[in-house]
């Protein structure tokens, strides 16, 4: 409310009233399925609240018309089939506008609007209890999206996230009702988006993890680059206010609000914020701590993980998610469970999108600025056909498929009964390395694909190496297509086949225009058939490699190494570990005088390795990372032998080294064979 008055109060109030007078004249509620409610009803509610003193005293007729206008939007929305305006679809951008409109109208007009009380009751019902066939927003988001983000991606996300969190702020300021920490229906999503923005932004801070549907644009337009997935500055500014009111701490105990404020200040210097948003939410004097000193370098949102080497603009970062489909009928969410994306920074300035070096990319790389390459609207249409239609092949994702004609389903919903079970079941950041394991990814495929197992382990050895271990089981599809189990990997320009670093390995280096982006080395299946690079849509921009083994049915183990070194010479030489027992698969990564070994079990994901592990490695300083061990168990680790080789034995024991609660073990082995706990 514009009090206390200053010399400009009346003039500003009159200008605001003139805007409201125009807004109430628009009553084409049905345009684009009710799209306008997110702008008209929410805008009128905020305007009515802020201008109330002036309107009630000087323009009461307009005040009444504004109430009628807001009610018109909400009553029309409530009268329509939910299938038309998506008002019972909890992750639809249409629903987000309706959710905010109902709450803000009820709060702004309480006492003047006969419908305000019923709107508020209805809002609390859909927030806490039920939304159509779904649980209420608070329990639904707590179960599926508690870590923040927007299922439809960051073209739709900026306004949608604001519409899903600002009602919590309004309820607190208007009624003193705390929806965030409500013991019966907590809604931490409203504040956890701060962590999400921080961790899922690229090293340059110019864009977010660019999954889900984006539109094409003209890169020559000022401010258009890098893509439609820009870091959402207005949403970020709202979140600074949220975190001041609801303090949050990360697992390390570090408070988020000062870090977020520093991050948002940097983003505001890239993308100027709307003045109204700064007026409402930005406090230029709020406490800050450098976001670049954030102690946590990884973040597990709900079945969606981000990990990075550090907070500099030279950092390597990766993301992976394992969620079932939620975007029912809107179809803006990509069906990309298990898909891995890796980006490196080149040390350039914050705010320059050229600072980000794309390596292993999402299909939306086609719709992102890169060099002087244009962006074709045809590519956007092709991606919609591939990813967002029932008949789409899902050929542009970094996932497993059992046929070239189909992939993950758009009809397997995350809250179906019985519910699909894809999830990042294991996540652990131990400083030198991160383990993220996505399990039950096979639940994302229609039964006709005959995929009965897919899990993906990602071990990120900081600062620049990723060892990816996929376990799949599949048979002949029942839809008259031949079995063709394969992994797809998609890169920025351009993968080039180079000399393999070890027998049975296949390596491609990715570089163009003198910029080396990294390398991929396949270790399992041994001597894999790697087809490509396939120039996707003849774009000269997105390139695919397809990896196949010798068998077309049954269980297959896939072992792949990604390295984001800045030169080809610095890439680790990858080879399969020489196992002396049959219970492990693993990678040996040789770099100069020191090596890295990463081991996995041969059983199903999550099944502890049984018995003693034994393998050989060169006599060099080695960091050893073992997964799939029993949690909190004790193991003896020895490295014996003379000359250029060591035999490493890992055996259950009563004294020795203890595995983590997630079943990992990290030790270092000196060239002499001495074994020490990893630090």
What is the 3 state secondary structure string of 152-164?
CCCCCHHHHHHHH
| Summary mean pLDDT of the chain | 96
Cα gap 537→484, rounded to integer Å: 22
Copy the structure tokens of residue 73.
Answer: 């939007």
Question: Per DSSP, what are the bridge partners of residue 451?
Answer: 474
Cα gap 653→637, rounded to integer Å: 9
Residue 594 — φ and ψ, nearest 5°? -130, 150
Per-residue pLDDT tens digits for 361-401: 999 999 999 988 899 999 999 999 999 999 999 999 999 99
Q: What percent of the chain has pLDDT over 90?
A: 95
Mean of pLDDT values over 180-184 = 96
Instruction: Look at residue 533 in the predicted model and tell me its pLDDT.
Output: 98
* Alpha carbon of residue 325 to chain centroid: 14
Copy the structure tokens of residue 640.
Answer: 């014996």
Q: Are 657 and 635 in contact (CB under 8 A)?
A: yes
* DSSP state for residue 35 in the 8-state scheme: G
How far does the chain reach from its first CA to its final CA, in angstroms? Answer: 56
125 pLDDT higher than 60: yes
Q: Are 590 and 644 in contact (CB under 8 A)?
A: no
584 pLDDT higher than 90: yes
Instruction: Look at residue 1 in the predicted model and tell me its pLDDT.
Output: 47
Mean of pLDDT values over 424-452 = 97
Mean of pLDDT values over 424-439 = 97
Cα gap 108→1, rounded to integer Å: 11
Instruction: Look at residue 2 in the predicted model and tell me its pLDDT.
Output: 47
634 pLDDT higher than 50: yes
Copy the structure tokens of residue 596.
Answer: 């890295």
* DSSP state for residue 406 in the 8-state scheme: -
Query: Residue 19 — very low, low, confident or very high, per pLDDT cuts 50/70/90?
Result: very high
Strand ranges inside 178-258, DSSP E: none
Instruction: Look at residue 41 in the predicted model and tell me its pLDDT.
Output: 98
Per-residue pLDDT tens digits for 250-284: 888 889 999 999 999 999 999 999 999 999 999 99
Cα gap 67→63, rounded to integer Å: 6
Cα gap 284→268, rounded to integer Å: 11
The residues near 528 (Cβ < 8 Å, ≥ 6 apart) are 506, 522, 547, 548, 549
Instruction: Look at residue 421 in the predicted model and tell me its pLDDT.
Output: 95
Per-residue pLDDT tens digits for 246-259: 999 988 888 999 99
Instruction: Look at residue 252 in the predicted model and tell me its pLDDT.
Output: 85
Copy the structure tokens of residue 481.
Answer: 């297509």
Instruction: Look at residue 4 in the predicted model and tell me its pLDDT.
Output: 67
Query: Residue 81 — very low, low, confident or very high, per pLDDT cuts 50/70/90?
Result: very high
Per-residue pLDDT tens digits for 127-156: 999 999 999 999 999 999 999 999 999 999
Q: Are 636 and 614 in contact (CB under 8 A)?
A: no
Mean of pLDDT values over 429-434 = 97
Sign of CA dihedral 44, 47, 53, 54: negative
Neighbours of 139 (CB within 10 A): 19
Residue (of 131, 126, 79) closest to 102 by Cα position: 126
Q: Are 467 and 461 in contact (CB under 8 A)?
A: yes
Helices (H), 389-500: none
Per-residue pLDDT tens digits for 41-63: 999 999 999 999 999 999 999 99
Q: Are 211 and 334 in contact (CB under 8 A)?
A: yes
Cα gap 60→56, rounded to integer Å: 5
Per-residue pLDDT tens digits for 200-240: 999 999 999 999 999 999 999 999 999 999 999 999 999 99
CB-neighbour burial class of residue 402 (10 A; exposed 0-12, middle 13-18, buried 19+): buried
Per-residue pLDDT tens digits for 469-496: 999 999 999 987 899 999 999 999 999 9
């Amino acid at each position: 409310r514009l009090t206390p008055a200053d010399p400009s109060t009346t003039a500003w109030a009159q200008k605001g009233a003139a805007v409201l007078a125009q807004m109430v004249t628009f009553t084409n509620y049905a345009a684009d399925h009710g799209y306008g409610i997110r702008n008209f009803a929410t805008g009128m509610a905020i305007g009515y609240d802020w201008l109330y003193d002036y309107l009630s005293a000087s323009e009461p007729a307009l005040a009444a018309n504004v109430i009628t206008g807001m009610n018109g939007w909400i009553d029309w929305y409530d009268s329509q089939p939910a299938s038309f305006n998506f008002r019972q679809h909890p992750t639809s951008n249409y629903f987000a506008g309706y959710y905010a409109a109902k709450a803000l109208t009820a709060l702004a007009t309480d006492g003047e609007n006969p419908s305000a009380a019923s709107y508020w009751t209805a809002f609390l019902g859909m927030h806490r209890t039920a939304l159509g066939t779904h649980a209420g927003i608070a329990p639904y988001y707590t179960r599926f999206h508690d870590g923040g983000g927007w299922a439809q991606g960051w073209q739709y996300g900026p306004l949608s996230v604001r519409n899903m969190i600002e009602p919590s702020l309004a309820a607190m300021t208007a009624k003193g009702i705390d929806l965030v920490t409500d013991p019966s229906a907590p809604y931490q999503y409203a504040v956890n988006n701060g962590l999400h923005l921080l961790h899922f932004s690229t090293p340059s801070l110019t864009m977010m993890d660019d999954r889900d549907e984006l539109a094409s644009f003209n890169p020559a337009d000022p401010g258009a680059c890098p893509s439609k997935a820009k870091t959402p500055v207005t949403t970020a500014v709202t979140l600074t206010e949220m975190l001041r009111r609801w303090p949050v701490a990360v697992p390390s105990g570090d408070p988020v609000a000062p870090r977020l404020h520093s991050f948002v200040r940097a983003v505001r210097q890239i993308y100027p914020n709307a003045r109204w948003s700064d007026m409402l939410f930005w406090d230029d004097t709020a406490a800050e701590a450098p976001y670049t000193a954030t102690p946590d370098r990884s973040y597990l949102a709900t079945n969606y993980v981000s990990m990075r080497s550090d907070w500099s603009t030279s950092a390597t970062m990766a993301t992976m998610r394992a969620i079932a489909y939620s975007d029912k009928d809107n179809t803006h969410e990509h069906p990309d469970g298990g898909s891995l994306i890796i980006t490196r920074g080149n040390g350039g300035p914050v705010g320059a999108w050229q600072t980000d070096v794309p390596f292993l990319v999402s299909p939306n790389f086609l719709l992102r600025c890169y060099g002087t390459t244009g962006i074709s609207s045809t590519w956007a249409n092709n991606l919609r056909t591939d990813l967002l239609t029932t008949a789409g092949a899902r050929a542009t994702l970094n996932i497993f498929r059992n046929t070239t004609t189909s992939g993950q389903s758009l009809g397997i919903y995350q809250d179906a009964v019985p519910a699909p079970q894809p999830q990042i079941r294991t996540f652990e950041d131990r400083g030198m390395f991160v383990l993220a394991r996505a399990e039950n990814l096979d639940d994302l495929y229609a039964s006709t694909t005959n995929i009965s197992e897919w899990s993906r382990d990602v071990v990120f050895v900081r600062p620049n190496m990723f060892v990816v271990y996929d376990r799949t089981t599949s048979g002949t599809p029942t839809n008259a297509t031949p079995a063709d189990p394969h992994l797809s990997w998609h890169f920025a320009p351009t993968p080039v086949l180079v000399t393999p670093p070890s027998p049975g390995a296949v390596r491609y280096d990715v570089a163009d225009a003198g910029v080396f982006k990294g390398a991929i080395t396949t270790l399992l299946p041994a001597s894999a058939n790697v087809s490509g690079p396939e120039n996707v849509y003849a774009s000269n921009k997105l390139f695919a490699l397809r990896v196949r083994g010798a068998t077309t049915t049954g269980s297959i183990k896939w072992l792949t190494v990604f390295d984001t070194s800045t030169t080809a010479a610095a890439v680790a030489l990858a080879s399969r570990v020489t196992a002396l027992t049959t219970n492990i698969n693993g990678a040996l990564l040789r770099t100069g005088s020191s090596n890295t070994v990463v081991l996995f079990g041969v059983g199903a994901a999550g099944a502890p390795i049984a018995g003693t592990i034994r393998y050989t490695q060169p006599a060099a300083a080695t960091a050893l990372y073992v997964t799939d061990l029993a949690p909190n168990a004790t193991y003896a680790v020895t490295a014996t032998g003379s000359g250029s080789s060591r035999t490493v034995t890992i055996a259950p024991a009563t004294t020795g080294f203890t595995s983590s609660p997630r079943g990992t073990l990290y030790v270092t082995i000196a060239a002499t064979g001495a074994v020490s706990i990893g630090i």
